[in-house]
Amino acid sequence: MPHLQVISGKQRSSCGYYQQGFTNQQALLLLIIMFPLGVIVLGLGAIVLQRPPSATNQPQATDQPATTKSKIAPVPMAPENNESALFSATDQAISTVNDWIKAMSDGDEVMARRLMTVGAESFHSPEFFDRFVRVTVSDLQTSGNSGSYVNLNGIMTFVYRDGTTQRETRSFTVRTEPLGQAQVTNTEFISVIKSRS
C-alpha cells in the first residue's frame, strides 16, 4: 500500500495530486442542512414512540377459542340513556343517606364524616344522636336533581332512650360521583309527622 504524505493539511494521493478535505464553507453548509433534518427525524421518532398502539397492532379476533386460560375482566356498561344514569345516581344518593344516618345513629363518626362534605359537618352532632337509642330514615324519594346533585325527601324516626318516638320529614341533598363516594351536602327539617309520644 502506498504511503500518503501529508503536507501542510493536504494529502498527496498516489497519482500525485493534492486532495483537500471540506472547506469551512462546505462544512458549514453541510451542518446547516443536516442539523434541521436531524431535529425533524428526532421529533418524528419521539412522536411515534409516544403514540398508543393502533388497532392494526392489536391481535385479530378469531372464531377459534383460545388455547390458554385467561381471566377476562367484564367491561363496565355505559348507561344507554339519561334515565339509566339518573336511576343509578338516585340509588347512590339513597344508599348514601341510609349509610350516613346509620353511621350517626351507631356513633361511627369516621364513617359519618366520610359520607358528608366539610360544609355539612354542622349537621352532625354526636351529642344530639346520643339522646336516642336508634335513628332511622325511610321512604326516601327523589324530589329533584341538578347535575350531579340529587335531592331526596324522607321520613326520620327518632327512638328516645325512654322508648318514645318522634317522626319527621327531612330533605337531603347528595352530591353523587360516578366513580367515587357520594356525599351528603345538606339536610333540612320539613315537618313533624308524629310528635314524641
The pLDDT of residue 99: 93
Whole-model pTM: value is 0.55
The pLDDT of residue 155: 94
Do residues 84 and 90 make contact, with C-beta atoms less than 8 angstroms apart?
no
Tens of pLDDT, residues 97-156:
999 999 988 988 889 888 888 877 776 677 888 889 999 999 999 998 888 899 999 999
Which position has the higher pLDDT, 123 or 65? 123
The pair phi, psi for residue 187, each rounded to 5°, is -150, 145
Domain map (residue ranges) of the chain: 6-50, 84-194
Q: How far apart are CA 117 and CA 68, in angstroms?
A: 48
Fold classification of 84-194 (topology level): Nuclear Transport Factor 2; Chain: A, (3.10.450)
Which position has the higher pLDDT, 22 or 106? 106
Q: Where do we find the cell 364513617?
A: 111
The pLDDT of residue 63: 43
Q: In what order do the strands lie in the sheet with 183-194?
A: 132-146, 149-160, 165-175, 183-194
